[in-house]
């Protein structure tokens, strides 16, 4: 392998890396479809893609992250998002979450969210991965804020975030389907803020 | 037809009426599946069930209501719910909506909600009917309250109500999946109340 190749692989965002990543995602979709989530292994997915299993863990954080990217097609990863969202006043956390969620999902198109909802309605594994994603994501966000009843708060945030996506991208209720991001952020941010740090009794 | 039969039919909830109703729902599911929502007609559904088309309109309020009951399996109809929900203080409307939604859907079992989500993810017609249901339902509720931006308020309420159902019945996040109704009502009611009558800018 040339020095150039090695550099490209290390950075993981260069064309060569993206090709391998696409091959891995395709292999993952096939193996998850054939074996289901529980019986699929990182080893078998890596073997089908012709790459080392360590690369899967490096890029996707293991089977769960691979499922999230390949099947749920989440346009973000919890580890990447938490530092971005923590960067600002605590009392505007709800607004930053709503804004980030909407701009990311608007960016990849509504079909991706529809595929997510179909996965959730059809596969228990998809729900498990979504639950773990939200749990990891919001627990990371909430860890310093001193809120009680974290698990319920995470579920409440998920209900509003996923519900907003369902109405905007799948059921397409006007005017939510076409509303400006800022309009929806203004309406939904106080809800998320209360679920994160406010009174829920 | 005996006097007893006539009375049973008029009330529409007696055993004889329920049998006809079940036959109609089954015919509706078949016709919607074969022809899709747009091309299905009340006349063809009634003919398959061997009943008069007028009875479909009487019981279900036409094609849309039939689709709501047969395919979406909504455990309520807007006309029935609005008077129930209006009966109480305006500032507890959010709590009454959350309570009614949860107890009705708990009563029919989570599978029904899963079927609803699958319909929405798979059929545009299902989204249209759900949208009309929410629009009719919340517009009826909001008509006297003097709120502005009714369409956005309806969509916001739908996002929280449907999102809560998705997390409780389909994705089954703990503790939302098993939480007492009153716990969830306490958490979600202020959200619905604000979307209905509060500040959303």
Provide the residue-wise pLDDT of chain A in tens; the chain has 201 residues.
Answer: 444 444 444 444 434 566 888 899 999 988 887 887 788 899 999 999 999 999 888 888 888 888 888 888 888 877 788 888 889 999 999 999 999 999 999 998 878 888 888 888 877 888 888 888 888 888 888 887 888 899 999 999 999 999 999 999 999 999 999 999 999 999 999 999 999 999 999
Judge whether B115 and B130 are in contact, CB under 8 Å.
Answer: no
**Distance separating alpha carbons of residues B137 and A157, to the nearest angstrom:** 25
The CATH number of B78-197, from 3.30.310.40, 1.10.357.10, 1.10.10.350, 3.40.50.10490, is 1.10.357.10
**Number of other CB atoms surrounding residue A110 within 10 Å:** 15
**Phi, psi (degrees; rounded to nearest 5) at B95:** -65, -40
**Distance separating alpha carbons of residues A176 and B86, to the nearest angstrom:** 25
**Distance separating alpha carbons of residues B129 and A173, to the nearest angstrom:** 11
User: How would you classify residue B78: left for phi > 0, otherwise alpha for psi between -120 and 50, otherwise beta?
Assistant: alpha
Q: What is the DSSP-derived secondary structure letter of residue B20?
A: H
Closest CA to B74 of B111, B19, B112: B112
List of residues 6+ apart from A198 with CB closer than 8 A: none
Check pLDDT > 70 for residue B170.
yes
List of residues 6+ apart from B16 with CB closer than 8 A: B5, B8, B9
Q: Which residues of A touch B167 (CB under 8 A)?
A: 155, 158-159, 162
The reply to whether residue A173 touches residue B183, judged by beta carbons under 8 angstroms, is no
Judge whether B91 and B193 are in contact, CB under 8 Å.
Answer: yes
Any CB–CB contact under 8 A between A163 and chain B?
Answer: yes
Check pLDDT > 80 for residue B4.
no
Stretch among A86-90, B31-35, B185-189 having the lowest mean pLDDT: B31-35
Closest CA to A184 of A154, A153, A155, A163: A163
Query: Please, what is the average pLDDT of chain B?
Result: 86
A-B C-beta contacts closer than 8 Å: 131
Closest CA to A124 of B171, B160, B178, B55: B171
Check pLDDT > 50 for residue B10.
no
Check pLDDT > 60 for residue B187.
yes
Domain residue ranges of chain B, discontinuous segments joined by +: 3-72, 78-197
pLDDT score at B84: 86
| Greatest C-alpha distance within chain B | 60
Check pLDDT > 50 for residue B81.
yes
Higher pLDDT, A183 or B20: A183
Band the pLDDT of B3: cuts 50, 70, 90.
very low
**Average pLDDT value for residue range B14-32:** 79
pLDDT score at B45: 94
**Distance separating alpha carbons of residues A139 and A158, to the nearest angstrom:** 12
Q: From A125, which residue of chain B is nearest by alpha-carbon distance?
A: B171
Nearest CB neighbour to B159, from listed A117, A167, A175: A167
CATH superfamily for A3-72 is Homeodomain-like (1.10.10.60)
pLDDT score at B17: 66
């Amino acid at each position: 392998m040339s020095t150039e190749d090695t550099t490209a692989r290390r950075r993981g965002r260069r064309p060569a890396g993206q090709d391998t990543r696409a091959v891995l995602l395709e292999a993952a979709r096939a193996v998850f479809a054939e074996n289901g989530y529980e019986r699929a292994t990182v080893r078998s997915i890596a073997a089908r893609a012709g790459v080392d299993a360590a690369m899967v863990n490096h890029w996707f954080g293991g089977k769960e992250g691979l499922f999230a990217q390949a099947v749920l097609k989440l346009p973000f990863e919890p580890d990447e998002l938490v530092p971005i969202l923590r960067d600002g006043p605590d009392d505007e956390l709800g607004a930053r979450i709503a804004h980030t969620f909407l701009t990311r999902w608007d960016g990849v198109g509504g079909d991706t969210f529809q595929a997510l909802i179909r996965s959730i309605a059809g596969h228990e594994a998809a729900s498990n991965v979504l639950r773990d994603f939200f749990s990891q994501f919001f627990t990371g966000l909430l860890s310093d804020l001193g809120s009680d009843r974290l698990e319920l708060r995470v579920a409440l945030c998920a209900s509003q975030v996923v519900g907003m996506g369902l109405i905007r991208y799948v059921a397409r209720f006007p005017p939510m389907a076409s509303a400006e991001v800022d309009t929806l952020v203004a309406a939904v941010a106080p809800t998320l803020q209360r679920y994160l740090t406010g009174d829920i009794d």
